[in-house]
Chains A and B, each alone.
Chain A
Amino acid sequence: MQSNRLGWILLAPTLVILFFFGVVPFLYVLWLSFHQWNPFALDPTIVYNGADNFRALVFDSGFLSSLGVTIAFVFFAVLSELIIGYLLAQAFLKEFPGKAFFRTIHTLPLIMAPIIVGSIWKLMTTPSIGIIPSLLDSWFGFDLNIGTSAVAAFTVTVVMDVWHWTPLVTLTLIAALVSLPADPFEQAQIDGANKRQIFWHITLPMIAPALLATVFIRLMDALRTVDEVLMLTGGGPGSATRYLGVHIFKEVFPKTNYGYGSAVSIIVLYLTIVSCWLLYVALIAPRNKKA
């Protein structure tokens, strides 16, 4: 009982901070999502409108289109990051000349602010001055124009996200791979298992918790991507890169539609929680049940 009380006392500062900076803003946004509020209108009063924001949301073609491109963006970005991150982690476990230098260089994008990443990629992909369109044109005769081609803009935002966040996946997977015991691998090799069998039946199940934690982090980040994309494409051309974060930004700031923006935010939070929970249930929970 004594240690229980001590535990609560030690946790209290964190819980108080979490309450004021996490729970209160969430409840405020939830409350606002059931109201109509435009603080810069002639009548800035907050009016309760029931489920009207959500009613408008399920018929809003802009929101539904944003949801579609966001799901595609998250799928391609997170999957690419996992595959490239794993391959790089395996490479960094081996010795090769210049390994320390390459590892430092490879981690640099991680420390950059998203707005800087967006600026860099905008400079690199602007058709008249960017190095990437220039090289693609001279090497392959390919005309990359993110201002007019929806596919090009979408692809570049995915590549930018992969460039920015793959080092995080690599670092997490290096930590996971280094901590694996050698015995199961030696036993598998003695039993005649090939590399593919070792990967699917030993490596992957053993790094699954670390992999899942990384996917959770990346999934949550990718679903709320705003600044990089806003800087690079501004959500265009058309609505090709108008991801949910960008959609919320455009509803809340230029249109000052705070109630509707809050409703979209709540739905994004809901989607994030559900996708993380489903991943957990699919990958970890059945194993716990068997145990």
Chain B
Amino acid sequence: MSRTEPQDIETPINIYEEQEESRQSPLDKERDGFLPIQTNWFDRVFISVIIWVALSLFWLRFLEPAGLSLNFSHAIAVLLGVYIVWKG
């Protein structure tokens, strides 16, 4: 009922609003975390993968020759990824 009597006559009514909201998966919802941008679940997984690759290359170049196994890099990347997806 309230949709047919808008208070603000200049704002166009989005008749698909309810449909769009019901279609949106919880994974698609954007939120503010410690990252400087609003992100959805996919963004945070993407950022984690980007960091994982960068960390692995850095590790291969600088830390593996010193004797630190690449598996440490993977473990750190997984922990960081979980934290980014959870809190980012």
User: Are A and B co-members of a single complex?
Assistant: yes
Q: Does B13 contact A (CB under 8 A)?
A: no
- Smallest distance from the beta carbon of B76 to chain A beta carbons, Å? 16
Asked if A285 and B38 sit within 8 Å, CB to CB, the answer is: yes
Interface centre among A4, A51, A267 (most CB of B within 10 A): A51
Which residues of chain A come closer than 8 Å to B60, judged between CB atoms? 51, 54-55, 58
- Smallest distance from the beta carbon of A46 to chain B beta carbons, Å? 22
Q: Does A281 contact B (CB under 8 A)?
A: yes
Q: Does B75 contact A (CB under 8 A)?
A: no
Q: Does A288 contact B (CB under 8 A)?
A: yes
Q: Does A48 contact B (CB under 8 A)?
A: no
Instruction: Answer whether A58 and B37 are a contact pair too, CB < 8 Å, given A274-B50, A277-B50.
Output: no
Q: Out of A54, A59, A273, A285, which one reaches B37, CB within 8 Å?
A: A285
Chain A residue with Cβ nearest B64: A55
Chain A residue with Cβ nearest B23: A4
- Which secondary structure dominates chain B's binding surface? helix
Asked if B38 and A58 sit within 8 Å, CB to CB, the answer is: no
Asked if B37 and A281 sit within 8 Å, CB to CB, the answer is: yes
27 contacts between A and B (CB under 8 A): A4-B23, A51-B56, A51-B60, A54-B56, A54-B57, A54-B60, A55-B60, A55-B64, A58-B57, A58-B60, A267-B57, A270-B50, A270-B53, A273-B50, A274-B50, A274-B54, A277-B46, A277-B50, A281-B36, A281-B37, A285-B36, A285-B37, A286-B36, A288-B37, A289-B32, A289-B37, A289-B38
* A58 to B53 alpha-carbon distance, docked (Å): 12
Which residues of chain A come closer than 8 Å to B32, judged between CB atoms? 289
Q: Out of A59, A270, A277, A281, which one reaches B61, CB within 8 Å?
A: A59
- Smallest distance from the beta carbon of B33 to chain A beta carbons, Å? 12
* A54 to B73 alpha-carbon distance, docked (Å): 14
Asked if B38 and A288 sit within 8 Å, CB to CB, the answer is: yes
* A contact residues, range: 10 to 19
* A58 to B37 alpha-carbon distance, docked (Å): 31
Chain B residue with Cβ nearest A54: B60
Q: Does B82 contact A (CB under 8 A)?
A: no
- Which secondary structure dominates chain A's binding surface? helix
* A40 to B86 alpha-carbon distance, docked (Å): 48
Q: Does B80 contact A (CB under 8 A)?
A: no
* A151 to B65 alpha-carbon distance, docked (Å): 35
Segment 33-66 of B: residues with Cβ below 8 Å from A? 36-38, 46, 50, 53-54, 56-57, 60-61, 64
Q: Does B70 contact A (CB under 8 A)?
A: yes
Chain A residue with Cβ nearest B65: A59
Which residues of chain A come closer than 8 Å to B37, judged between CB atoms? 281, 285-286, 288-289
Chain A residue with Cβ nearest B62: A58
Which residues of chain B come closer than 8 Å to A281, judged between CB atoms? 36-37
* A51 to B73 alpha-carbon distance, docked (Å): 13
Q: Which 9 pairs between the two chains have the least Cβ-Cβ distance?
A: A58-B61, A285-B37, A58-B60, A289-B38, A55-B60, A270-B53, A281-B37, A58-B57, A274-B50
Chain A residue with Cβ nearest B37: A285
* A51 to B64 alpha-carbon distance, docked (Å): 12
Chain B residue with Cβ nearest A285: B37
- Smallest distance from the beta carbon of B50 to chain A beta carbons, Å? 6
* A58 to B54 alpha-carbon distance, docked (Å): 11
- Smallest distance from the beta carbon of B61 to chain A beta carbons, Å? 4
Which residues of chain B come closer than 8 Å to A59, judged between CB atoms? 61
Which residues of chain A come closer than 8 Å to B38, judged between CB atoms? 285, 288-289
* A50 to B42 alpha-carbon distance, docked (Å): 27
Segment 44-89 of A: residues with Cβ below 8 Å from B? 51, 54-55, 58-59
